[in-house]
Chains A and B, each alone.
Chain A
Amino acid sequence: MAIVASTSLSKHPLFSSSFLPASTTPTKIFSSKLRFRETEQIRFRLSTFFNNPGFLLMASKEPVGLTTELGSDKIETAVGVENGCGMFDEMKHRFLSFKKKKFMENLEHYLNLSNAQTPKFMVIACADSRVCPSYILGFHPGEAFIVRNVANMVPPCESGPSETNAALEFAVNSLQVENILVIGHSRCGGIRALMSMEDEADSSFIQNWVVVGKNARLKTKSAAHNLSFDHQCRHCEKESINCSLLNLLTYSWIEEKVEKGTLSLHGGYYDFIDCTFEKWTLDYEGSNLKESDKFAVRSQSFWC
């Protein structure tokens, strides 16, 4: 499969009528005019192309070792001179190992899964490389619908459409998951950025995103102002999970199901320094959320 997209160079700033010495190496590459909310979203002018796949890895029903590699010598050579040759090999080996040890060993299960997914969990976790929920909580394929973003934030309904609430809508209304688990973690860079913010109006993406957690920061500053900055961040990591749980309830279709008892909201905190996990469940019936933004919890546990 080759998907080729090429665009002309005629409007590139380098192609002006002025003389260019042959030895000029252009350093400014992109001339981009971005139009948003229209169907043609990108207008930059340079030649882009997509390599033919270096490898097409097939799982077959034959014994191990029978894999098909697509590509002529020419393509392999082209891949070979790229820096990523080693990376392609590495991905290939990992996929084949997954195929052999998991996919083929559980073929029927994977075939059933390919027809439909019915996960009982939706997990919202941080994008941090150290906290993959599949890894630390052992979710197998098919068990958990997982959203990962910076600092595992859930924006409230009034903030408008985003990738997180699109995923919530799918998981709750279409897949009808029974549990939503928001997992925070220790030494979170996003929470640190939230706690370090001087001015809410900042041009960086990170600060424009983590400001979703501003209530958690306010509560932390109020409750833990006498603690060191590191301890305040730790406090905020947990407070932010609770704020996210409250934000989940701003979606009427989530609150309805929680009230009915068909959906449970859980918070989790993974401390990768000591390898401990805390977990708690929002007690909807025991909370009086119309009066205050504090909620009751139940089934608190600590695993170490």
Chain B
Amino acid sequence: MAKQYTEDLISGLKKDLRDKEERDDNAVERIKNGFIRFKTCKFDKCPKYFQELAEGQHPKFLVFACSDSRVSPSHVLDFQPGEAFMVRNIANLVPPFDQLRYTGVGAAIEYAVSSLQVENILVIGHSRCGGIERLMSFPENGSAPFDFIDDWMKIALPAKLKIKAEHSCLSSEEQNALCEREAVNLSLVNLLSYPYVQKAVADQTLALRGGYYDFVKGSFELWQLNTELSPPIIIP
């Protein structure tokens, strides 16, 4: 009986290993086919374009988009290689300037604005964002904390507080949809806390734009953050 048990155990482990290898092989096959298709249908057809690109990138956009698998800006807005320096994170958030805490995003903004001199920063939110849903429901729903996600989503807390205060009568789905857009606006405002962004916006060499992709309705909204100073009131 012990022998049978051991044999069953070994057979089970071998099956697990085969399944895992098969999963790995399928995954590899998927990536390989994707790359071969890119090479034959795109790279090899435009060698001069890709050769120039290899020498240096000059994107006009810095794009912040969510990591969500459904919202790649390369699909939705057809960004071609070389067009957009792209940061993707949970809920497409831009934290305020903080050299200790948010070096990742800061590095991307610094590089894009100071070195690459992009002309536009586009922050794209989207429908049914898991990060925003988490922000709006935790900790009120009493669920266990996600250490890293919850810490990251705190960036958007002002957006949550605003929506909860102004739209408390709406359903949670409607509140989430509003918060998704409000978080984009918050990110645009946070961008202005980076000195090189401030300067470029003041010099009018950089535009800050917000976007919202609704993949339920199949729609896209686009807007711009304008900043202006009214003329001074002169008090003699």
Q: Which residues of chain A come closer than 8 Å to B234, judged between CB atoms?
A: 19-20, 22
Minimum CB–CB distance for B220 against chain A, Å:
5
* Of A224-232, A238-246, A270-278, the one touching chain B: A270-278
Q: How long is the Cα–Cα vector from A169 to B153 in the complex, in angstroms?
A: 13
User: Beyond A3-B185, A29-B202, A275-B43, is A169–B218 a contact (Cβ under 8 Å)?
Assistant: no
A135 and B38 contact, CB distance less than 8 A: yes
Q: Mark B178-194, 1 if CB is under 8 A from A, else 0.
A: 00011001001110110
Q: Is the CB of A59 within 8 A of B72?
A: no
Find chain B residues with CB under 8 A from A39 CB.
157-158, 161
Contact with B along A167-203 (1 / 0, CB 8 A): 1111101100011010000110110000000000001
Q: Are A9 and B230 in contact (CB under 8 A)?
A: yes
Q: Is the CB of A275 within 8 A of B23?
A: no
Closest chain-A Cβ to B116's Cβ sits at a distance in Å of 8
B89 touches A36 (CB 8 A): no
Interface residues of B in 138-167 (CB under 8 A from A): 146-149, 151-153, 157-158, 161
Inter-chain contacts of A142 with B (CB < 8 A): 69-70
Within 8 A of B (CB), among A73-101: 79, 82-84, 87-88, 91-92, 94-95, 97-99
Contact with A along B31-51 (1 / 0, CB 8 A): 111111111001110000010
Which of B4-12, B168-176, B209-217 lies on the face that meets chain A?
B209-217
What's the least CB distance linking B176 to chain A, in Å?
14
Interface residues on B, range: 35 or more
Distance in Å from the Cβ of A84 to the closest Cβ of chain B?
Answer: 5
In the complex, what distance in Å separates the CA atom of A181 from the CA atom of B203? 40
Q: How many of A's residues come within 8 Å of B, CB to CB? A: 126
Identify the B interface with A (CB < 8 A).
Answer: 16-17, 20, 23-25, 27-28, 30-39, 42-44, 50, 53-54, 57, 59, 67-72, 74-90, 93, 96-99, 101-112, 115, 120, 127-128, 130-131, 146-149, 151-153, 157-158, 161, 181-182, 185, 188-190, 192-193, 198, 202, 204, 207, 209-211, 215-230, 232-236
The list of the 6 closest CB pairs from A to B, nearest first, reads A59-B218, A138-B34, A205-B106, A209-B107, A166-B152, A161-B151
Seen from chain A, the residues whose Cβ lies within 8 Å of a Cβ on chain B are 1, 3, 5, 9, 12, 14-15, 17, 19-20, 22, 24, 26-27, 29-30, 32, 34, 36, 39-42, 44, 46-60, 79, 82-84, 87-88, 91-92, 94-95, 97-99, 102-104, 110, 113-114, 117, 119-121, 127-132, 134-150, 153, 161-171, 173-174, 178-179, 181, 186-187, 189-190, 203-206, 208-210, 261, 264, 266, 268, 272-273, 275, 277, 279, 281, 299, 301, 303
